[in-house]
A = this chain, B = another copy of it.
């Protein structure tokens, strides 16, 4: 099969992060049409949790792991992000994309906040059959902390190393990695020290733009480059046209 493309949809383009867990249905419908119009299979999609899941993870203090008092938080947080995943999958299927939701809680094992083990052979088979797997940021079990929150960006970084992708793109609510008002065209592990990273509009439990860049630099070190761009440029990325964003690559 041709090398698949991995597209990450930021939580902030799918939900309103400022308010309660509200899905931005019009944005989602627009993105789904864009993907249907420009993408070819094999394609894998990962989305962030945005405001669906972060408030629950905060309320049960899941970033600190399981404490004996917050076991219910695993179910409650997973339910919130699973509902968003189901809405995303439904929207993609409405546009004719053969999307199927896959929940990281069901297939990942982490240690101290990092995924160390995840079944991937079924994902490869889905890609080769033309199914579009749709994964997401989730709560996952953790052998050290009991449970932890794994961001969509960490899923991208893990899958980017476990499977072979031709291209990896991250659609966000900003035009790329910003230094002041200017998009940094190329970031490498060598140049990251020279720039002061602007943040995404809202912070979240998984680290916002800084967390994203940390994941992508780890991916770059293992030899896989990735691209960050504004969600309005999703079609341009899928077509392979210039998108005015940032490329994160090895030195």
Contacts and interface: CB of A to CB of B under 8 A. Distances in A.
A122 B140 contact: yes
Nearest to A75: B100
Contacts of A126: 141
Which interface residue of A66, A78, A99, A100 has the most chain B CB atoms within 10 A?
A100
Interface stretch (A101-109, A158-166, A180-188): A101-109
A26 interface: no
Contact of A141 (B78, B103, B122, B142): B122
B122 A108 contact: yes
A140 B99 CA distance: 15
Interface in A107-130: 107-109, 117-119, 121-122, 125-126, 129-130
Nearest to A143: B125
Query: Secondary structure at chain A's binding surface: helix, strand, loop or mixed?
Result: mixed
9 closest A-B pairs by beta carbon, nearest first, are A106-B106, A109-B121, A125-B141, A107-B107, A122-B141, A119-B119, A109-B122, A102-B106, A107-B119
A153 to B, nearest CB: 20
A72 B126 CA distance: 12
A16 interface: no
A93 interface: yes
Contacts of A99: 75
Contact of A71 (B75, B131, B146): B131
A147 interface: yes
A74 interface: yes
A98 B68 CA distance: 13
Contacts of A102: 105-106
Which interface residue of A78, A99, A122, A126 has the most chain B CB atoms within 10 A?
A122
A108 B120 CA distance: 9
Contacts of A119: 107-109, 117-119
B129 A71 contact: yes
A147 B118 contact: no
Given A75-B98, A108-B122, A129-B147, 12 more contacts: A72-B98, A75-B93, A75-B99, A102-B106, A109-B121, A117-B119, A117-B121, A118-B119, A121-B141, A125-B143, A125-B146, A129-B141
